[in-house]
């Protein structure tokens, strides 16, 4: 990184690919990443995402229309491949000419095959070297390599060990995700070989974020041991902030509950937290970086300050590391 405290990051493969000032993608957080947040991040020089998740198609279409009313910058759509509405989401992405799509929770083959010929940039979120190599062969334009520090559904490797292995294994650009909430994390990601970052939890506590104030407060109050991972036995582990719901999940696991019983308890709990503000029995998904989030600021200030700090950290290393 060149030292620069201005509004633009020196162009690299990620900024050129995304058409952004900063090599930063906002995480595709279900129920959190709506048109308001996506537009705010894009207007601030990053790439904002709308999370399709299992959103009804008519609501998603309204969001895709709204985001273009709020920004003329590039934006993206996160597609959860396990969603029952995934085929409709892909068609909506094509209809509305969404410039960039990120994918998660499944193989992105059909997304790449359908949308890339239309000019859409496709960036899968992956958690292993095997996945990265596979999606590169399928035609992915870049990958987001997400460590287990991230919130929501996670893999098994930490960001620290995952990123160097991914960058050594593929030729396409790599964005790092998981545990990044300030400039120190961005500098570390670049030191590990990434060319960009994806940031999720920090943007929960963003002025433009429409999540319930109680959800934001839970993130602001998080400490280093406030996180817990539940559901490992289901094959789909999830990282959340500890509350009565996560305690109940742990109780079910100890009692040998079935996957069906576990999933019944979890149904609708993310919306309950994000929209209704139920931080006791709702699923308060947040990464381990929640402990680094201490205030609510506009997206523009969050991004600008993070990159200023990243430049400063990088510059200071020249005096700390010598031969």
Over residues 273-300, the pLDDT tens digits come to: 999 999 999 999 999 999 999 999 999 9
Is 47 a residue whose pLDDT tops 70? yes
Q: Both 110 and 161 in a single domain?
A: yes
Q: Both 49 and 172 in a single domain?
A: yes
Banded pLDDT at 265 (limits 50, 70, 90)? confident
Range of the domain at 311: 13-209+295-317
Banded pLDDT at 38 (limits 50, 70, 90)? very high
Q: Both 228 and 104 in a single domain?
A: no
Q: First and final CA of the chain: distance in angstroms?
A: 20
Q: Both 94 and 172 in a single domain?
A: yes
Q: Both 224 and 261 in a single domain?
A: yes
Instruction: Give domain status of residue 123, yes or no.
Output: yes
Euclidean distance between CA atoms 186 and 319, whole angstroms: 19
Instruction: Give domain status of residue 113, yes or no.
Output: yes
The one-character DSSP state at 206 is B
Q: What is the 3-state secondary structure (H, E, C) of the chain?
A: CCCCCCCCCCCCHHHHHHCCCCCEEECCCCCCCCHHHHHHHHHCCCEEEEECCCCCHHHHHHHHHHHHHHCCCCEEEEEECCCCCHHHHHHHHHHCCCCEEEEECCCCHHHHHHHHHHCCEEEEEECCHHHHHHHHHHCCCCEEEECCCCCEECCCCCHHHHHHHHHHHCCCCEEEECCCCCHHHHHHHHHCCCCEEEECHHHHHECCCCCCHHHHHHHHCCCCCCEEEECHHHCCCEEEECCHHHHHHHHHHHCCCCHHHHHHHHCCHHHHHHCCCCCCCCCCECCHHHHHCCCCECHHHHHHHHHHHHHHHHHHHCCCCCC
Phi-psi region at 231: left, alpha or beta (left = phi > 0; alpha = psi -120 to 50): left
pTM summary value = 0.90
Which residues are paired to 228 by β-bridges?
240
Euclidean distance between CA atoms 3 and 274, whole angstroms: 38
Instruction: Give domain status of residue 322, yes or no.
Output: no
Query: 218-227, 263-272, 305-314: which range is least confident on average?
Result: 263-272
Residue 105 confidence (pLDDT): 82
Contact by Cβ (8 Å): 222, 309: no
Instruction: Give domain status of residue 53, yes or no.
Output: yes
- Domain count for the chain: 2
SS3 82: coil
Q: Of 141, 76, 144, 132, nearest to 107 (Cα)?
A: 132
Banded pLDDT at 1 (limits 50, 70, 90)? very low
The continuous run of DSSP H or E covering 249 comes out as helix 244-254
Given the DSSP bridges, would you call strands 75-80 and 238-241 parallel, antiparallel or unpaired? unpaired
Q: Both 49 and 191 in a single domain?
A: yes
Q: Both 272 and 312 in a single domain?
A: no
Is 91 a residue whose pLDDT tops 80? yes
Instruction: Give domain status of residue 263, yes or no.
Output: yes
Instruction: Give domain status of residue 3, yes or no.
Output: no
Q: Both 170 and 251 in a single domain?
A: no
Q: Both 137 and 234 in a single domain?
A: no
Residue 236 confidence (pLDDT): 82
Q: Both 142 and 274 in a single domain?
A: no
């Amino acid at each position: 990184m060149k030292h620069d405290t201005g509004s633009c990051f020196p162009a690299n493969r990620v900024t050129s690919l995304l058409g952004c000032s900063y090599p930063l993608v906002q995480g595709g957080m279900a129920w959190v990443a709506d048109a308001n947040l996506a537009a705010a991040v894009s207007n601030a020089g990053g790439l904002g995402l709308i999370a399709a998740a299992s959103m009804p198609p008519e609501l998603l279409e309204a969001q895709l229309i709204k985001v273009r009313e709020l920004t003329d910058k590039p934006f993206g759509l996160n597609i959860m491949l396990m969603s029952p509405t995934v085929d409709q989401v892909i068609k909506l992405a094509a209809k509305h000419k969404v410039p960039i799509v990120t994918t998660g929770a499944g193989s992105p083959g059909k997304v790449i095959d359908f949308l890339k010929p239309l000019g859409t940039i496709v960036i899968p979120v992956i958690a292993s070297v095997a996945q990265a190599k596979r999606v590169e062969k399928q035609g992915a334009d870049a990958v987001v390599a997400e460590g287990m520090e991230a919130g929501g559904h996670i893999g098994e490797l930490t960001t620290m060990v995952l990123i160097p292995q991914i960058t050594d294994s593929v030729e396409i650009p790599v964005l790092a995700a998981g545990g990044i909430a300030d400039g120190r994390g961005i500098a570390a990601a670049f030191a590990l070989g990434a060319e960009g970052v994806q940031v999720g939890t920090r943007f929960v506590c963003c002025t433009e974020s429409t999540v319930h104030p109680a959800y934001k407060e839970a993130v602001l109050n998080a400490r280093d041991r406030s996180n817990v991972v539940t559901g490992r036995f289901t094959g789909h582990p999830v990282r959340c902030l500890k509350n009565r719901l996560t305690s109940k999940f742990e109780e079910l696991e100890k009692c040998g509950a079935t996957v069906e019983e576990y999933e019944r308890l979890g149904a609708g709990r993310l919306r309950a937290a994000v929209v209704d503000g139920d931080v006791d029995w709702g699923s308060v998904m947040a990464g381990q970086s929640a402990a680094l989030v201490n205030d609510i600021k506009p997206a523009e200030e969050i991004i600008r300050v993070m990159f200023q700090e990243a430049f400063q950290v990088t510059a200071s290393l020249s005096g700390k590391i010598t031969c």
